[in-house]
Amino acid sequence: MTTLRRIAAIGLILALGACTTYSMVEATKGYEVGDAFKVDTPIAWNKARVHSPNIELWTLDGLLQTLVFVTGVSNGDTLFSGPDEKKPKFDEKSTIIEAKAFIIDSLLTSGVLEYREISFAPAKLAGQDGFRVEFKFTKEDGMERRAFVVGALKDKKLYAIMYSGAEIYFYDRAKQEAESVISSAHFL
């Protein structure tokens, strides 16, 4: 690698690192996520600051493993921030199946190139009837990821928790811990 390329690579790494700030979520019981959930986490996570009012993002190993908390999407809101013209908007009259479709459609408009559903079934989130969908997806970086989302509708809002990880090694590495966080969730 030439000196110029090394300098450019270091500059890019520093610039990307400056884009997001992180704080530590220690292994604990009763951690409050937004104004939505209280959860127990058996391991420490890194909490990333995101610019979306309905999202809290925890990471391990950078973005190779993520736990995304959807903390109450209201009628007419999008799941992710950014230009709204192509992003789906949540409908408070949604069924469970439509809520699942809203999440997947939101992912597909946020840089997901390929999506393959593995399973879809009823499930509970924080004691509320809902759904669980497992799937694989590929983003613009070309890395195949595996994920699952557990979601529910409560008081005309959508709540969900999604775990994802690079399929090679990282997905399985903290899957049980993510399952533990989700199963401990209670609404505030």
**Full domain range(s) for residue 27:** 21-187
- What percent of the chain is modeled with pLDDT above 70? 87
Instruction: Say what the pTM is.
Output: 0.86
Q: The domain that contains 112 carries what CATH number?
A: 3.40.1000.10
Cβ–Cβ contacts within 10 Å for residue 20, how many?
A: 15
What residue type is 174 in one-letter code?
A: A
Whether residue 1 lies inside any domain: the answer is: no
Count of structural domains, the chain: 1
Per the model's pLDDT, the better-predicted residue between 129 and 18 turns out to be 129
Whether residue 2 lies inside any domain: the answer is: no
Average pLDDT for the chain: 88
Average pLDDT over every residue of 132-158: 96
Confidence check: pLDDT of 16 > 50: no
Cβ–Cβ contacts within 10 Å for residue 128, how many?
A: 15
CB distance 8 to 2 below 8 Å: no
User: Which residues does 4 contact at the CB level (< 8 Å), separation at least 6?
Assistant: none
What residue type is 145 in one-letter code?
A: R
User: Which residues does 155 contact at the CB level (< 8 Å), separation at least 6?
Assistant: none
At 78-89, the pLDDT tens digits run 998 766 668 899
